[in-house]
A and B are shown apart, each in its own frame.
Chain A
C-alpha cells in the first residue's frame, strides 16, 4: 500500500474555506459563493488526479494512505488521524466532489436572492469536507467523525431557514434520528475494540475470522442501525421527508446523492463483518426490502414534489441496502446503483428545484401541470432521470437495478423468490409514482394561478442539470461495461469468492420481467392521472390515507417515544424536587421537631431540672450495674 501526501487537501481545503467564510462574515458576501465553488471544483480535480494515479498503479498499491498525526493513544487503544483512499472510497470521492461541484454551481443561481448565501456555501463546503472524511477515514473512529460531521452539516442546512419553526423542528428531528444511528455506530466501535483491540478497518478485517459469531452479528446489527439512521432506512426513516425543509440543492446533494448513501458505504466497507455473519445479512436484506417498499408506497401519495422524490430516494437506497445484504456479489451492484442513483436523483431534484424556482417556490404538484412547454430543458433532463430510475434500457438505472433484482432472485429458494419478488414489486410501484410525478408536473393541463409565470431557469442552473442528465443516461453503461466496476471494487469487497448463486432465471428474463412491471406501473399512472383535481381528494382508500401519513410513522413515534418521554421527564422533574430533595428536607424537619421537644422540656422549673438530674443518676446507676454485674 503506497502513501500519498495529497489526500489531506481533499478535506482541508473545503474545511478551511468554510471556516473562512463563517469567520469573515459579511465581508465575504461578495465572493463567498465563488470561493466555495472554486474549492469544491478543485477537490474534484484532486479526486480525478488521485483516480488517475490509482490507475497508474496495480494490485495492492492502488490503495493509498496518508497518516496525518497520532490522534488518540491510550492503553492499547491507538487511533491515528490517517486517511485511506482505495477503490471503494475513490468512487465516493468522485461522486461527492463531482455532484457537489455541480450543485455548488447550481446554488449560485438558486440562492441568488438569499442574503445568507455565503453562509449557505460555507455549510456546503463543510459538508463536502465532512463527507470526504467519512469516506477517507481509515478507521471506524475517523469515519465516525465524518459521520457526525455530515449529520451536523445536514442539520445546519435543513435548518438553514430556521426562523421558520417548522424547519427548525425538522432539522432537530433529523439530527436526533441520526444520533440514534450514531449510537449504533459507536456501540459497533466499542464491540470491535473489545473484540479485536483495534478500530481500524484493516485491524478489524484481520480479526474478524477469529471473533465469535455472536460478536460479529452484534457488530453487524449495530452497523446496520447506524446505516439505517444515516440512510433513512426503516425504522429510522421518518426524518428524511421533513428534511426537505432545506433548500432544494441541499436535498439534491445531501439527501439524495451523497450523505444518505453513507449507510451503504458503511456496510460495504464492513463487508468482512457481514460476510462472516449470515444473521447480520438477513437483518440487512429485511431492512432493505421493507424500506424499498415502504418508500415506494409513501411515494405514491405525496403531492409535494420534493417529498415524493424523498420517498423515492428512501426506496432506492432500500435497493442498495438490499444489495449489500446479498453477500459479496451484491456490494458492487449496490455501489453501482448508488452511483447511478447519485446522477439521476440529483438531476431530478435539481429539476424539481428549477420548477419551484419558476413557480415561486410552489411545491404542490397538483398546482403544476403542462410545464414541459415552458421549461423544456428542465422537462427533458427530468425525463431522462425518470427513465433512468425506472430502469428502462439503456438508461443508467437499468444496469444497476436489474442487477440487484437478478441477484436477489439468485439467492435461491424461498428467500430468493421473496427478495426478488419484493424488488420487482418495488420497481412497479416506482414506475407508478415516478410517472405520477412526471405527469402531474410536466404533462396535462396547467393548474397554476395566473399570478405565476413559469420560466426556464438560467444556464447556471440548467447546466448542471444537463450534465447530470447525461450521467443518468450513460453512467450505468459505462460502469457495467465489461463489469468494470465489479472488477474495480473486487480487491475491497473480495467478490472473488462471490458465487453468483445458481441462476434462477436468465438475466434477460429478469430484465424483461422488470420492464414489464415497469410498463404496467407507468401505464396505470398515466391512465389514472389524465385529470388531476387541484385539491387532493378527501375520500380516498385507507391505503392512500396511510401513504399520505407516511404509513403513520410519525404517529407511531409520537405515541411510543415522544409522549412517554415527555411524561417521564415531567415525572422526573417532580421526583427530583419532591422525593430526592424532599428526603433531605424531611431529615431537617425531623431534627427541628426533636429540637422543639427538647425546647419544651427546658420548662424553666428548677424542680424539674433537679428531677432530670436525679433521673440521670438513676440511669447512670442502672448502666453501671448492668456493666459490672
Chain B
C-alpha cells in the first residue's frame, strides 16, 4: 500500500480538526479537535520518519504526546473553572471581552 496515503490521511485529519474548531461550540469538543490536529501532525511525523528511514520523526511524536498531555492538564483546568463559574462550557458564552 502506498505510504503517501498516510500523509493524505493526516492532512484530512488535520483539516477536520481545524474546521471542527470553527464549527463546534463546546470548549471540550473544540479542544478535542485541536488534539486531533496534533495527532494528525504525529501521524505525518511518523510517516515521514518511515519515508526517510530515520527515527527523528518518531522521537518528535513522543515529544508531541507529552506536550499534548500538558496542554490537556492546563486546558481542562481552565475549561472547568469557566464551567464552574458560568455553568456552561459553550465558548460563545465566553464573549464578554470584545470590540
Contact = CB atoms under 8 A, between A and B. Distances in A.
The answer to whether A and B touch directly, with their CB atoms under 8 angstroms apart, is yes
Interface of A: 599-600, 602-607, 610-611, 614
B99 A602 contact: yes
A599 B97 CA distance: 12
A595 to B, nearest CB: 11
Nearest to A604: B98
Nearest to A605: B95
Interface in B48-99: 91-92, 94-99
A599 B99 CA distance: 5
B22 A614 contact: yes
B15 to A, nearest CB: 10
Given A606-B30, A614-B18, A614-B22, 20 more contacts: A599-B99, A600-B99, A602-B98, A602-B99, A603-B95, A603-B98, A603-B99, A604-B96, A604-B97, A604-B98, A604-B99, A606-B91, A606-B94, A607-B22, A607-B25, A607-B30, A607-B91, A607-B92, A610-B21, A611-B22
Interface in B13-63: 18, 21-23, 25, 30
Contact of B21 (A599, A603, A607): A607
B91 A605 contact: yes
A170 to B, nearest CB: 67
A405 B18 CA distance: 108
A605 B27 CA distance: 12
Contacts of B97: 604
Interface size class of B (residues with CB under 8 A): 10 to 19
B80 to A, nearest CB: 17
14 contacts: A600-B99, A602-B98, A602-B99, A603-B95, A604-B98, A604-B99, A605-B91, A605-B92, A605-B98, A606-B91, A607-B30, A610-B21, A611-B22, A614-B18
Nearest to B24: A607
A604 B94 CA distance: 8
Nearest to A607: B22
Contacts, number: 32
A281 to B, nearest CB: 81
Nearest to A614: B18
Nearest to A617: B18
Contacts of A604: 95-99
Nearest to B98: A604
Nearest to A596: B99
Contacts of A614: 18, 22
B50 to A, nearest CB: 26
Nearest to A610: B21
Nearest to B94: A606
A603 to B, nearest CB: 5
B29 to A, nearest CB: 11
A604 B95 CA distance: 5
Nearest to B97: A604
B86 to A, nearest CB: 14
A614 B20 CA distance: 12
A571 B82 CA distance: 64
A599 B92 CA distance: 18
A574 B25 CA distance: 57
Nearest to A599: B99
A562 B25 CA distance: 75
Nearest to B99: A599
Nearest to A600: B99
A21 to B, nearest CB: 75
Contacts of A607: 21-23, 25, 30, 91-92
A357 B92 CA distance: 100
A603 B91 CA distance: 13
A583 to B, nearest CB: 29
Contacts of B25: 607
Nearest to A603: B98
A481 B46 CA distance: 130
Contacts of A605: 91-92, 95, 98
B47 to A, nearest CB: 21
Closest 9 A/B residue pairs (Cβ): A604-B98, A604-B95, A606-B91, A599-B99, A610-B21, A605-B95, A603-B98, A611-B22, A607-B22
A610 B30 CA distance: 11
Contacts of B21: 607, 610
Nearest to B92: A605
A602 B95 CA distance: 10
Contacts of A603: 95, 98-99
A522 B21 CA distance: 114
A383 to B, nearest CB: 96
Most buried by B among A600, A610, A614: A610
B75 to A, nearest CB: 13
Contacts of B22: 607, 610-611, 614
Contacts of A610: 21-22
Nearest to B91: A606
Contacts of A602: 98-99
Contacts of B91: 605-607
A247 to B, nearest CB: 76
A605 B30 CA distance: 13
A614 B33 CA distance: 14
A602 B97 CA distance: 9
A610 B22 CA distance: 7
A607 B25 CA distance: 8
Contacts of B94: 606
A510 to B, nearest CB: 98
Nearest to A608: B22
Nearest to A598: B99
B23 to A, nearest CB: 8
A602 B96 CA distance: 11
A171 to B, nearest CB: 65
Contacts of A600: 99
Nearest to B96: A604
Contacts of A599: 99
A593 to B, nearest CB: 15
Contacts of B92: 605, 607
Contacts of A606: 30, 91, 94-95
Contacts of B30: 606-607
B30 to A, nearest CB: 8
B97 to A, nearest CB: 6
A603 B98 CA distance: 5
A605 B18 CA distance: 16
A611 B98 CA distance: 16
A585 to B, nearest CB: 25
Most buried by B among A600, A602, A605, A614: A605
